[in-house]
Amino acid sequence: MASHLHLAPRLTDAGEEHAPPSPIRVVVADDHSLIRRSVRLLLEGEQDVELIAEADDVASAAHQVQGTHPNVLVLDLSMPGGSSIEAIGQLRERAPATQIVVMTMEESPVFAQRALAAGALGYVSKELADKELADAVRAAAHGEEFVSPSIGVRLDALNRSLTEHKLTPREVEVLRLIALGHTSVEIARKLSLSPRTVETHRAHIHRKLGLATRAELVRYALRRGLLGH
């Protein structure tokens, strides 16, 4: 838990006492204890942020949010106990006063787009958490969006693909996995689709982009920043 700073009340010109503003109350959910410890140490250094609880899976994250009513939930994208993406939408419905900041190793703009569309206000790379997480928490607490700039550039490129070439989010996911070298069977398994459905998506992608070969799809995905690093 973050230690409380006992600040003397401020006096206005009229001599009235005003207590310092309440800290932003945060729950962090990550299945790695070392990550939670690092976040705890990081947030303890912020005077306006208080870490009030921790969780190590999706179910316990939901329990902590509903029990402690934090201002912000910092949520790992890949945790046991269910899909964190689905949990974002569910938590926003059940606890609308709690804003969500995703903190993840997954820097693909596809996942960022899905998390933001589900209701998250922040999307931060774990590699840059020491520089960006506190700012993302503050932004979320004020109802403002914060995306790591390195991811934001690729997210803008993704959104152009969705609008300029009329790709659907699912087609972008399939395109990304094709460019990463996965077969239709592997893609079907990853996305819980049938191989036939994946082949249909593949045909739509080729038609919409006007590209004939997998090599051309790879170049397109690279130019659009869909492959992460």
pLDDT for the residue 192: 86
Full-model pTM: 0.71
Cβ pair 97, 140 in contact under 8 A = no
pLDDT for the residue 85: 83
Distances (CA, A) of 59 to 51, 69, 93, 189: 19, 15, 15, 24
Cβ pair 122, 140 in contact under 8 A = yes
Tell me how crowded residue 51 is: count the other CB atoms within 10 A of its CB.
24
The two three-digit tokens of residue 142, written as one number: 């004020």
What confidence category does residue 20 fall into, taking pLDDT thresholds of 50, 70 and 90? low
> For 37-50, what is each residue's pLDDT tens digit?
999 999 988 999 99
Phi/psi at 76 (5° precision): -70, 145
Residue 208 host element (H or E):
helix 195-209
Range in 110-114, 125-129, 142-146, 184-188 the model is least confident about: 110-114
pLDDT for the residue 205: 93
> For 54-76, what is each residue's pLDDT tens digit?
999 999 999 999 999 999 999 99
3-state secondary structure of 3: coil
What confidence category does residue 16 fall into, taking pLDDT thresholds of 50, 70 and 90? low
The DSSP symbol for 128 reads: G
What confidence category does residue 14 fall into, taking pLDDT thresholds of 50, 70 and 90? low
Most confident of 96-100, 124-128, 149-153, 171-175: 96-100
> For 120-163, what is each residue's pLDDT tens digit?
999 999 999 999 999 999 999 999 999 999 888 888 877 877 77
Distance of CA 122 to the CA centre of its chain: 6
Residue 157 host element (H or E):
helix 149-164
Q: Kindly report the average pLDDT of the chain as a whole number.
A: 86
What confidence category does residue 113 fall into, taking pLDDT thresholds of 50, 70 and 90? confident
pLDDT for the residue 7: 45
| Percentage of the chain modeled with pLDDT above 90 | 55
Over 112-128, what HEC string results?
HHHHHHHCCCEEEEHHH
Domains along the chain with CATH numbers:
21-150 (3.40.50.2300), 165-223 (1.10.10.10)
State the average pLDDT over residues 189-208: 92
